[in-house]
Structure 1
Amino acid sequence: MPESPGRKPSVLFVCVHNAGRSQMAAAWLTHLAGDRVEVRSAGSDPGDQINPAAVEAMAEVGIDISQETPKILTVDAVRESDVCITMGCGDTCPVFPGKRYLDWRLDDPAGQGVGAVRPIRDEIKTLVEGLIAEIAPSKPETTA
C-alpha cells in the first residue's frame, strides 16, 4: 500500500455490533502498533455495550477495553480509512475506490463465555500482527 512520507496508515475494523471482534482488533492494533497506525472501529448495527466476555478476554492479556463504546459505521469512517476490515457484517460497508478491503472470517463472540472468546482474541492478534508487518513495519532508527 503506497503511503505518503510522514503519513500513517489508517485502519477501520467493522463488525455487526462493534461490541466484540472489531473492538478486540482495534485494541490489538493500538497496543501492538502504537502511534504508527490510526485505528477506528464501528458496527453496522451497534450494540448497547461492549461484550463483557471480550472485555474479560482482553484484560487477561493486559489490554483494557472496558471504557470503549459501540459506534455506528459511517461513510466518513470508511472514506477516511486506508484499510477497511470487515468481520461478518456482509455487504454493509460502503465501498470507495482506492481503499483496501479485507474480510476476516471470525466466530462471533456474542453470547459466548470468555472460554469461547479466548481463541477468537488470539486469532485476531495473529491477523493484526500480519497486518502491522504489511502496512506499518517497524523501521530501524536512523540518525542524520
Structure 2
Amino acid sequence: MPVTARRPDLSIDQQLALRTAASNLARAFDGTYGSETIERFLHTSYDEFADRAVVINYLPLLAERFARQRLRALAKVEGKSVTGTPVALFLCTHNAGRSQMAMGLFTHLAGDRAIAWSGGSEPDTRINSAAVEAMAERGIDISGEYPKPWTDEVVRAADVVITMGCGDACPVFPGRRYENWPVADPAGLDVPAVRVIRDDLERRVRALLAELAVPHD
C-alpha cells in the first residue's frame, strides 16, 4: 500500500483523504502499477483542480477519480490492459457543456459496451446547469461530473477523438481518429435552447456508435 508523501500545503484532513485515495488506487491497480506511479498520478491530478476548485473538501475525491481514469488510459497505451472495448474521447473548451453531454449520451446508449471520456482545453469550475437539466429530461444524470483537462495518456488511449470548438488547442497525436463536430456551445443559453443542442448531439452519438459497431439502445 502506498504511503502518500506529506505535503505541507495541505490540511491534515486533505492529507488523510489523499492517503485513502492512494490506498484505493493501489488496490485497483495492484500488479499493474506501483506506489510511485500511483502517487505521481494522484498528486498531479490533485494539482489540476486545486487552483480552480469551488469546494475544497471534494478535491481528494476528484483527484482520485481523475487519477483512476488516467491510470486506466496509461495501462491501455502501454498494453497492460487490453479489453477491446472502444474508447471515445469528447473534447471542447470548458468541458462544462457539449463534451459532458456527449459523454453522458454515449455512456447511456452504449452501457458497458464502450467507454466515454471527456476533457477541456480551459476547464470551467462547474458543469453548465442548463445542460444538466436538459440531460435529466432524458433520464441521464451528469450532475456528478466535473470539468477536467485532457492529458496525453487519455488522448493516446482513445480510439476516436471528437472535438467541439477547442480549435488549435485540441491535441493531435498520430494514429488517432479525429472528428470535429460543429455543435453550438450551450454556455449562456436557456434550457429550451440547450435541448436543441442535446438532440443534435444524440444524433451524432448514435451515428458514431453505429460506425464503431457498438450495439446501443
User: TM-score, with normalisation over the residues of structure 1?
Assistant: 0.90
- Out of 86, 98, 104, the position equivalent to 1:27 is 104
Aligned-pair distance for 1:73? 1.7
Q: Is the helix fraction higher in 1 or 2?
A: 2
Alignment gaps of 5+ in structure 1: 140-144
How far apart in 1 are the matches of 2:100 and 2:124? 12
In the TM superposition, what whole-angstrom CA distance separates every residue of 1:49-87 from its partner, at most 9, and x where no partner exists? 000000000001110111100011212211111100000
User: Displaced runs of 4+ in structure 1, greater than 3 A?
Assistant: none
State the number of aligned residues: 135
Kept in 2: contact 1:36–1:136 (CA 8 A): no
Kept in 2: contact 1:33–1:136 (CA 8 A): no
- Out of 52, 63, 68, the position equivalent to 2:145 is 68
Larger radius of gyration: 2
Kept in 2: contact 1:15–1:86 (CA 8 A): yes
Residue number in structure 1 paired with 2:188 = 111
User: Given the alignment of the two structures, is residue 90 of structure 1 paired with residue 146 of structure 2, yes or no?
Assistant: no
> 1:33 is paired with a residue of what secondary structure?
helix
Aligned-pair distance for 1:138? 2.5
Identity %: 59
User: Given the alignment of the two structures, is residue 17 of structure 1 paired with residue 116 of structure 2, yes or no?
Assistant: no
What's the C-alpha RMSD, in Å, of the aligned pairs?
1.5
Kept in 1: contact 2:114–2:214 (CA 8 A): no
How far apart in 2 are the matches of 1:17 and 1:23? 10
In the TM superposition, what whole-angstrom CA distance separates every residue of 1:13-50 from its partner, at most 9, and x where no partner exists? 00000000000000000000111111100000000100
Aligned-pair distance for 1:6? 5.2
Give the structure, 1 or 2, with the largest relative contact order (CA under 8 Å, sep 6 or more).
1
How far apart in 2 are the matches of 1:40 and 1:65? 13
How far apart in 1 are the matches of 2:209 and 2:89? 13
> 1:94 is paired with a residue of what secondary structure?
coil
Q: Is the strand fraction higher in 1 or 2?
A: 1
How far apart in 2 are the matches of 1:34 and 1:114? 26
